[in-house]
Amino acid sequence: MNRLLTFIVSLLLTSCTAQAQNSTPSPTPTIIPTPTASSVSNTRAKRFTLELSLSAPEDLKVREGDVVVMGQVLSDRTRERQRLEAQKAQVLIQLDRLKQAPIKPLAPKAASGIANLPTPSFIEEEAEIDREQVALQQIEQDWNRQQRKIDLLQGFNPSDLPPSTLPHEQEKLRQRERDVKQAKAELELSRAKLDRAKENYQYRQYEHSLEISKRSIDLERQQQEYQRQLQEHEQQERDRVFQLAQVNVQLQNLETQLTNLSIVKSAYNAKVQRVKWKGQNNQILTVELTLIVGDLRNTPRSKQASSNDSDDPKPETPPFQSSNPQR
């Protein structure tokens, strides 16, 4: 009887020692690699810890106690992605605008030359002067003949001549004098016409030289304006190329940021055991997510945690899928 009691006491002590050893908690790793299919049994559960980076609390798509299935989204930085996509759309609009090169200014058209003035001709004026000179000479000759005739009549005896002869001839002489004066006036008028024609031609030459000078000034001004526009165009082209390079760099940065904003999905059927917010750095929230992977259908919550605490998992791949292979 004493031997039986001793055996029972020894058995109870051995059982308590074993239970105390099994209840000792094991350290929890930050990232646990993915177990193989043979290492996950239907009667055991494993605990995995994930550390996620979020832009806002609503980026976390699960809560404590949620049961997730394979491929379900655990976190998605939706607001950050929308912000980056809106920036990318604006950058693409700016890129399309910068791809349109500025229109190059047109060179000024070559101005038509100004025709030279025709060779001056004063034939009509000179011919009229010659005609007036001939007429004047003829009238002067008539005056000279009339004057000699009067001189001859005055040499005769007045009684030998009719009384009216000498007065009549003197009247004719006075008429010849008037004709001479008229012819001289007409000759001077013809000479004045010639001078006026020459002055008019000189004025035309002056106006022609002014037109040539004005045309030359206009051409020089147009050329200077074209050079200024050309320099502005070249500066605009340099600025456009520089801005285009900057926008391309900005676009690449945005695409890189969008690529890094991966959607984290669960690789297993699991249960969210704990959600722990660890802190914030540069507007980036860090959250630690603990998943229980295994057969959780008939295991109470307390037993699940106890069985997980008794496990000592080995380092494996993290139990999540990412849309970015590099993440």
Residue 263 has a pLDDT of 82
State the greatest distance between any 2 C-alpha atoms of the chain, in Å, as a whole number: 224
User: Which H or E run includes 251?
Assistant: helix 165-260
User: Which H or E run includes 290?
Assistant: strand 284-294
Q: What percent of the chain has pLDDT over 70?
A: 76
User: Which H or E run includes 321?
Assistant: strand 320-322
Predicted confidence band of residue 295 (pLDDT cuts 50, 70, 90): low
Measured between its terminal Cα atoms, the distance across the chain in Å is 68
Residue 102 has a pLDDT of 85
pLDDT tens figures, 92-102? 999 999 888 88
Residue 141 has a pLDDT of 92
Is the pLDDT at 85 greater than 60? The verdict is yes
Residue 18 has a pLDDT of 37
- Residue pair 194/129 in contact (Cβ under 8 Å)? The answer is yes
pLDDT tens figures, 27-53? 333 333 333 333 334 447 788 888 888
**Which positions ≥6 away from 187 have C-beta within 8 Å?**
129, 132, 133, 136
Is the pLDDT at 266 greater than 60? The verdict is yes
Tokens of 250: 């900005």
Average pLDDT of span 40-68: 79
**Which positions ≥6 away from 323 have C-beta within 8 Å?**
262, 263, 265
The mean predicted confidence, pLDDT, of the chain is: 77
- Residue pair 7/289 in contact (Cβ under 8 Å)? The answer is no
Average pLDDT of span 232-255: 93
Average pLDDT of span 135-160: 86
Nearest 5°: the CA angle 154, 157, 162 is 85
Most confident of 164-173, 182-191, 263-272: 182-191
Residue 156 has a pLDDT of 79
Residue 191 has a pLDDT of 92
Residue keyed to tokens 């980036």: 284
Residue 282 has a pLDDT of 81
